[in-house]
Structure 1
Amino acid sequence: MSALYLLTALFPVLSILFLLAVLQLSARLAMAIGLAGTALLAALVWRVQWLQLAAAVLEGWVIACSVLWIVFGAMLLLHQLQQQGRFDLIRQSFCQLTADPRQQLLLVGFLLVAFLEGVAGFGTPAAIAAPLLVSLGFQPLAAVTLALIADSVPVSFGAIGTPVLVGIAQGIDTPLAVQDIAVQAASIDLLAAPWIPVYMLALYCRFFSAEKSWRYFWPALPWALCCGVIYALSAWLAARWLGPEFPTVLAALSTMVLLAVILKLRQQRHTTANVSMNGAVNSTARQLIAAWLPYLCLISLLVLSRLPELPVKNWLQSYQWQFDALLGSAISTSLQPLYLPGTLFVLTVLLFLPKNRSAAPQLLALCRQSLQKIGPAALTLASAVPMVRVFIHSDLNQSGLPAMPVYLADWAAGHLQQLWLWCAPVLGALGSFIAGSATFSNLMFAQLQLEVAAQAGVAPQLVLALQMLGANAGNMICVVNIVAACAVVKLQQQEGKILRYTLLPMLLYLLLVGTASHWF
Structure 2
Amino acid sequence: MSNWQLFAAFVPILSPMILLAGLRIKAAKAMPLSLLLSAVSAYFVWQMAIMEMAASVLEGWVIALSILWIIFGALFLLNSLKQSGALDVIRHAFFTLSEDARVQMILIAWLFGSFLEGASGFGTPAAICAPLLVSLGFSPLAAVTLALIANSTAVSFGALGTPVLVGLAQGLNLDDENQLQSIALHAIGIDILIASALPLLLCVILTRFFGDKPSWRAGFAMTPFALLSGLAFTLPAYLVAWLFGPEFPSFVGALFGLLLVKEMIDRRIALPRQTWRLNSNPSAPASNVSFGPLRAWSPYLLLVGLLVVSRLSALPFKGWLQSMVLQFENLLGTAIDAKIAPLYLPGTLFFLAALSCHYFHQSRWRQTSAALQISLKTLIPSIVSLGTAVPMVRIFLNSGYNHSGMESMPIALAHWAGMQFSDVWLALAPFVGATGSFIAGSATFSNMMFSGFQQSLAFKSELPQEVVLALQMLGANAGNMICVVNVVAAASVVNLAGQEGRIIRFTLLPMLGYCLLASSVAFILYL
Correspondences of 1:327-406 after superposition (within 5 Å): 327-354=332-359, 361-406=366-411
Asked whether the equivalents of residues 152 and 477 of structure 2 are also in contact (C-alpha less than 8 Å), the reply is: yes
Find runs of 4+ consecutive structure 1 residues off by over 6 angstroms: 280-286, 355-358
Residue in 2 that maps onto 1:443 = 448
Residue in 2 that maps onto 1:508 = 513
Give the deviation of 1:373 after TM superposition: 0.6
Q: Distance in 1 between matches of 2:66 and 2:40?
A: 26
Residue in 2 that maps onto 1:273 = none
Query: Partner of 2:305: helix, strand, or coil?
Result: helix
Question: What are the superposed Cα offsets for residues 112-138 of structure 1, whole Å, 9 maximum, x if unpaired?
Answer: 111111101101101110000001110
Residue in 2 that maps onto 1:251 = 253
Give the AA of the match of 1:430: T
Query: Partner of 1:416: helix, strand, or coil?
Result: helix
Query: Partner of 1:251: helix, strand, or coil?
Result: helix
Correspondences of 1:123-202 after superposition (within 5 Å): 123-176=123-176, 177-202=179-204
Give the deviation of 1:279 after TM superposition: 5.5
Asked whether the equivalents of residues 181 and 246 of structure 2 are also in contact (C-alpha less than 8 Å), the reply is: yes
Asked whether the equivalents of residues 95 and 277 of structure 1 are also in contact (C-alpha less than 8 Å), the reply is: no
Give the deviation of 1:356 after TM superposition: 13
The partner residue of 2:322 within 304, 311, 317 is 317
Q: Distance in 2 between matches of 1:281 and 1:362?
A: 21
The partner residue of 1:204 within 203, 206, 216 is 206
Gaps of 5+ in 2: 274-280
Query: Partner of 1:477: helix, strand, or coil?
Result: coil
* Compared CA separation, residues 285 and 350, structure 1 to 2 (3 A): closer
1:454 is the counterpart of 2:456: no
* Compared CA separation, residues 141 and 355, structure 1 to 2 (3 A): closer
Asked whether the equivalents of residues 197 and 225 of structure 1 are also in contact (C-alpha less than 8 Å), the reply is: yes
Residue in 2 that maps onto 1:408 = 413
Asked whether the equivalents of residues 83 and 367 of structure 2 are also in contact (C-alpha less than 8 Å), the reply is: no
Give the deviation of 1:355 after TM superposition: 9.9
1:115 is the counterpart of 2:149: no
Residue in 2 that maps onto 1:265 = 267
Name the TM-score, length of structure 2 as normaliser: 0.94
Correspondences of 1:298-313 after superposition (within 5 Å): 298-313=303-318
Query: Partner of 2:173: helix, strand, or coil?
Result: coil
CA RMSD across the alignment: 2.1
Residue in 2 that maps onto 1:236 = 238
Give the deviation of 1:367 after TM superposition: 2.1
The partner residue of 1:471 within 453, 467, 476 is 476
Correspondences of 1:477-492 after superposition (within 5 Å): 477-492=482-497
Asked whether the equivalents of residues 12 and 38 of structure 1 are also in contact (C-alpha less than 8 Å), the reply is: yes
* Compared CA separation, residues 11 and 366, structure 1 to 2 (3 A): same
The partner residue of 2:296 within 291, 299, 306 is 291
Query: Partner of 1:78: helix, strand, or coil?
Result: helix
Query: Partner of 2:398: helix, strand, or coil?
Result: helix
Asked whether the equivalents of residues 89 and 292 of structure 2 are also in contact (C-alpha less than 8 Å), the reply is: yes
Residue in 1 that maps onto 2:5 = 5
Give the deviation of 1:481 after TM superposition: 0.3
Question: What are the superposed Cα offsets for residues 21-47 of structure 1, whole Å, 9 maximum, x if unpaired?
Answer: 111101111111110000011000111
Q: Distance in 2 between matches of 1:279 and 1:417?
A: 56
Residue in 1 that maps onto 2:331 = 326
Residue in 1 that maps onto 2:277 = none
Question: What are the superposed Cα offsets for residues 220-246 of structure 1, whole Å, 9 maximum, x if unpaired?
Answer: 122111111232212111111111011
Asked whether the equivalents of residues 120 and 311 of structure 2 are also in contact (C-alpha less than 8 Å), the reply is: yes
Asked whether the equivalents of residues 428 and 467 of structure 1 are also in contact (C-alpha less than 8 Å), the reply is: yes
Asked whether the equivalents of residues 435 and 476 of structure 2 are also in contact (C-alpha less than 8 Å), the reply is: yes
Query: Partner of 1:138: helix, strand, or coil?
Result: coil
1:14 is the counterpart of 2:23: no
Q: Distance in 2 between matches of 1:283 and 1:229?
A: 38
Give the deviation of 1:420 after TM superposition: 1.2
Question: What are the superposed Cα offsets for residues 418-455 of structure 1, whole Å, 9 maximum, x if unpaired?
Answer: 11111111100000000000000000011111110110
Query: Partner of 1:380: helix, strand, or coil?
Result: helix
Asked whether the equivalents of residues 156 and 474 of structure 2 are also in contact (C-alpha less than 8 Å), the reply is: yes
Residue in 1 that maps onto 2:56 = 56
Q: Distance in 2 between matches of 1:131 and 1:213?
A: 24
Question: What are the superposed Cα offsets for residues 156-194 of structure 1, whole Å, 9 maximum, x if unpaired?
Answer: 011100000000011112234211111111111111111
Asked whether the equivalents of residues 81 and 354 of structure 2 are also in contact (C-alpha less than 8 Å), the reply is: no
Gaps of 5+ in 1: 271-275
Q: Distance in 2 between matches of 1:98 and 1:282?
A: 16
Q: 302-311 or 282-291: which moved more?
A: 282-291
